[in-house]
């Protein structure tokens, strides 16, 4: 079904709609003023009084505001039709009703209010011709410009979907314009005749009426021509496209819906018809084209199938011969399988023997690895003890070296003591000599030197005692010197022995490390050997299982060989039946080839007609 497209949408409201709408509301005013002067119905004072009246000012405001308000609210609502289709459709209908209704209401009510305000409503000689002339002039141009307004408006709002119930029918439009035109003509022509009816002669009245009559007939003719021309203008493109479609041309664009009446409905239905037939004929053309292609392919396939069936019939006899040969081969295979079974049984026994040997080797290697790990542990403990002994020997060597240095220092210091004792002995000797000299001098002094003699004697005694003690100390120090020298020699010997011990410990440690490294390598190698033996054990187990499966499978294959031989006999019998069925298939293929040719001819005939259409 055809619907309005985005390309039909025009958000810019044409200014012509507002211009024609304003003319439909206001064009009658200058025409009526001119007609009043021509008909002699009103003078300048009365016209001026009417134009400056409150009713006239309000009328001006209402008649100018109505098109503007309709444009502001109703047309804006129509533009937003995508948000609310129903509201937009109601706005379209209301806009058209107001466009027609406001001039009609104005024609029949405004002259009465104006006449009442300016005080002529009671003067029938003025009121009646004024009312008739004003009403006729409102209706005549109002109808013309209302038709133009609706025409331009409906062309613009063609993007709003047209529903059957929302249209303003063509009959109603023509009837309304015709009735309004007739009423307007009668009002305009009657106005001069009833003006000053008692004062003017018939000839003058006819002379005044003639211009109004010509004007009214002209305007009413324009109204009817406008509505008819609008309808014909809308019908012409539809008729042209219908003619194109009747000639098989479907390469047409949908026609824009320019009016919301039967012509609009016709345009909408034609667009739906065109859209449906485009899709239908395109799909039909594609389907027939595909059918033609399938028919051609089917014809080729049937020809190929016929040849294939012929080859099948030739091959069936070859298959029968091949099956007989295959049966003989199966019998030979049975004998071969019996020999294979014996070999598999022998292999299974060898595998069991190998599995036992591998298991014993695995146990021996595991025991070897355990011994290596034990020796490695003990050797590691020995290396730790050697390292501790090495540490203690280092400490002992350091202590011996310190003792030797201490003895050397004592030796040096004892030599200093001997020198000091020698000095003391010399001093004691000198002091003794001095004491002897002092005693001699005291003896020479007599009584006066006795005290000095006593002191000298004490000093001599001390000197002698010091000398004796010095000799004793010297003897002791010399003995000590000899012992220190012997100790120094012993400390030096001990230091040399410690150095030798350290060398021996280093050699023992290096040899232990080498042995430890060798044991580690041997342990790693033994581990790899053990891992390999485990893999060999697993492989042997897998081979043993496979051997069992092979033995079992060989038994099953032998059984299947018996069945296969029996089946070959059955297949040979079935091949004869297949040969008969292939002959029947060949006959069916020939029938299908005939039907395929008939279908191909039919589709080709349909394609001839479809190719004449422009889709």
For 82, residues 6+ apart whose C-beta sits below 8 A from its C-beta are none
**Domain co-membership, 217 together with 304:** no
Structure tokens at 179: 């009735």
Same domain, 67 and 172: yes
Residue of 7, 3, 11, 12 lying closest to 162 (CA atoms)? 3
> Residues 99-137, buried b or exposed e (16+ Cβ, 10 A)?
bbebbbebbeebbebbbeebebbeeeebbbbbbbbbbbb
DSSP single-letter state for residue 252: -
45, 187 in Cβ contact below 8 A? no
CATH of the domain at 407: 1.10.287.950
The answer to whether 344 touches 509, Cβ cutoff 8 Å, is no
Tell me, what's the pLDDT at 557?
Answer: 67
Residue 116 shares a structural domain with residue 226 = yes
In a domain, residue 448? The reply is yes
Assign 2 a pLDDT band (cuts: 50, 70, 90).
very low
Given a cut of 60, whether residue 10 has pLDDT beyond it is no
Task: Give dist(CA 426, CA 408) in Å, integer.
Answer: 27
Q: What is the pTM of this model?
A: 0.47
| Max avg pLDDT among 402-411, 455-464, 546-555 | 455-464
pLDDT at 411: 72
Average pLDDT over residues 411-416: 71
Q: What is the pLDDT of residue 6?
A: 44
What pLDDT is stored for residue 5 in this prediction? 47
Considering the domain boundaries, does residue 263 fall inside one? no
Q: Model confidence over 270-291: pLDDT tens digits?
A: 778 878 877 877 777 777 778 7
**Same-domain pairing of 226 and 306:** no
What CA–CA distance (Å, rounded) separates 131 from 123? 12
Question: Residue 1: which pLDDT band, with cuts at 50, 70 and 90?
Answer: very low
The confidence score (pLDDT) of residue 69 equals 93
Domain carrying residue 140: 6-245
Rounded Cα–Cα distance for residues 275 and 255 (Å)? 11
Owner of token pair 């001839």: 608
Whether 91 and 197 map to the same domain: the answer is yes
Beta bridge partners of 249: 614
84 and 183 co-located in one domain: yes
Residue 93 shares a structural domain with residue 237: yes
Q: In the listed set 245, 275, 310, which residue is the last one of a domain according to the structure? A: 245
**Residue closest to 541 by CA, chosen among 356, 376, 383, 364:** 356
Domain end call among 210, 245, 280: 245
The token pair that represents 491 in the structure block: 């400390």
Tell me: do 304 and 373 sit in the same domain: yes
User: What's the DSSP call for residue 614?
Assistant: B
Residue 510 to residues 195, 503, 514, 570, Cα–Cα distance (Å): 154, 11, 6, 86
DSSP 3-state assignment of 249?
strand
180 found inside a domain: yes
Residues 205 and 327 in one domain: no
Q: Is residue 80 part of a domain?
A: yes
Domain presence at residue 260: no
262: in domain: no
Q: Is 188 exposed, middle or buried (0-12, 13-18, 19+ CB in 10 A)?
A: buried
Q: Last residue of some domain: 185, 216, 245?
A: 245
Identify whether residues 336 and 463 lie together within a single domain.
Answer: yes
pLDDT at 341 over 70: no
Residue 157's CB is within 10 A of a number of other CB atoms, namely 27
**Residue 131 resides in a domain:** yes
Name the residue among 235, 90, 233 with its Cα closest to residue 163. 90
Q: Quick one: 368 and 486 in the same domain?
A: yes
Q: How many domains does the chain have?
A: 2
Residue 427 sits in the same domain as residue 345: yes
Q: Give the model's confidence band at 338: pLDDT under 50 very low, under 70 low, under 90 confident, else very high.
A: low
In a domain, 568, yes or no: yes
More reliable by pLDDT, 297 or 177? 177
- Percent of the residues in the chain that have a pLDDT greater than 90, as a whole number: 7
Residue 324 predicted with pLDDT over 50: yes
Share of the chain above pLDDT 70, in %: 78
């Amino acid at each position: 079904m055809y619907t309005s497209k985005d390309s039909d949408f025009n958000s810019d409201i044409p200014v012509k709609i507002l211009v024609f709408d304003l003319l439909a509301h206001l064009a009658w005013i200058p025409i009526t003023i001119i007609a009043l002067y021509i008909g002699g119905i009103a003078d300048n004072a009365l016209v001026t009084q009417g134009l400056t009246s409150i009713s006239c000012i309000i009328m001006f405001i209402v008649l100018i505001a109505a098109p503007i308000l309709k444009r502001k609210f109703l047309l804006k609502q129509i533009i937003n039709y995508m948000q609310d289709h129903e509201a937009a459709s109601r706005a379209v209908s209301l806009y058209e009703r107001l466009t027609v209704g406001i001039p009609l209401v104005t024609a029949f009510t405004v002259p009465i209010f104006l006449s009442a305000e300016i005080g002529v409503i009671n003067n029938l000689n003025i009121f009646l011709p004024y009312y008739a002339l004003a009403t006729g002039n409102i209706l005549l141009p109002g109808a013309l410009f209302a038709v133009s307004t609706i025409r331009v408006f409906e062309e613009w709002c063609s993007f709003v979907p047209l529903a059957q119930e929302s249209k303003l029918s063509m009959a109603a439009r023509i009837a309304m314009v015709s009735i309004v035109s007739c009423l307007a003509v009668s009002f305009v022509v009657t106005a001069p005749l009833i003006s000053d009816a008692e004062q003017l002669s018939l000839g003058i009245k006819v002379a005044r009426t003639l211009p109004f009559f010509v004007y009214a007939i002209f305007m009413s003719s324009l109204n009817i021509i406008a509505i008819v021309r609008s309808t014909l203008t809308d019908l012409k493109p539809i008729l042209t496209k219908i003619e194109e479609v009747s000639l098989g041309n479907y390469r047409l664009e949908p026609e824009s819906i320019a009016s919301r009446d039967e012509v609009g409905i016709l345009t909408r239905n034609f667009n739906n018809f065109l859209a449906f037939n485009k899709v239908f004929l395109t799909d039909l053309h594609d389907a027939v084209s595909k059918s033609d292609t399938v028919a051609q392919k089917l014809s080729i396939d049937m020809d190929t199938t016929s040849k294939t069936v012929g080859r099948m019939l030739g091959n069936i006899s070859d298959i029968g011969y091949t099956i007989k040969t295959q049966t003989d081969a199966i019998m030979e295979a049975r004998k071969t399988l019996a020999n294979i079974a014996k070999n598999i049984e022998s292999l299974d026994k060898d595998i069991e023997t190998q599995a036992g040997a591998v298991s014993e080797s695995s146990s021996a290697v595991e025991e070897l690895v355990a011994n290596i790990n034990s020796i490695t542990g003990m050797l590691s403990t020995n290396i730790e003890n050697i390292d501790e002994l090495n540490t203690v020997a280092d400490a002992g060597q350091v202590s011996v070296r310190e003792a030797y240095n201490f003895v050397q220092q004592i030796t040096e210091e004892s030599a200093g003591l001997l020198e000091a004792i020698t000095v003391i002995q010399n001093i004691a000797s000198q002091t003794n000599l001095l004491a002897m000299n002092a005693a001699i001098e005291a003896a020479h002094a007599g009584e006066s030197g006795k005290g000095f003699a006593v002191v000298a004697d004490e000093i001599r005694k001390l000197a002698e005692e010091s000398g004796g003690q010095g000799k004793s100390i010297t003897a002791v120090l010399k003995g000590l010197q000899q012992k220190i020298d012997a100790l120094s020699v012993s400390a030096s010997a001990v230091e040399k022995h410690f150095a030798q011990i350290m060398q021996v410990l280093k050699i023992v440690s290096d040899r232990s490390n080498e042995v430890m490294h060798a044991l580690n390598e041997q342990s790693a190698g033994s581990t790899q050997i053990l891992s390999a033996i485990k893999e060999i054990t697993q492989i042997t187990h897998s081979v043993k299982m496979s051997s069992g499966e092979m033995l079992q499978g060989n038994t099953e294959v032998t059984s299947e060989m018996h069945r296969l031989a029996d089946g070959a006999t059955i297949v040979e019998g079935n091949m004869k039946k297949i040969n008969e069925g292939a002959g029947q298939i060949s006959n069916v293929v020939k029938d299908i080839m005939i039907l395929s040719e008939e279908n191909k001819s039919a589709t080709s005939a349909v394609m001839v007609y479809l190719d004449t259409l422009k889709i």
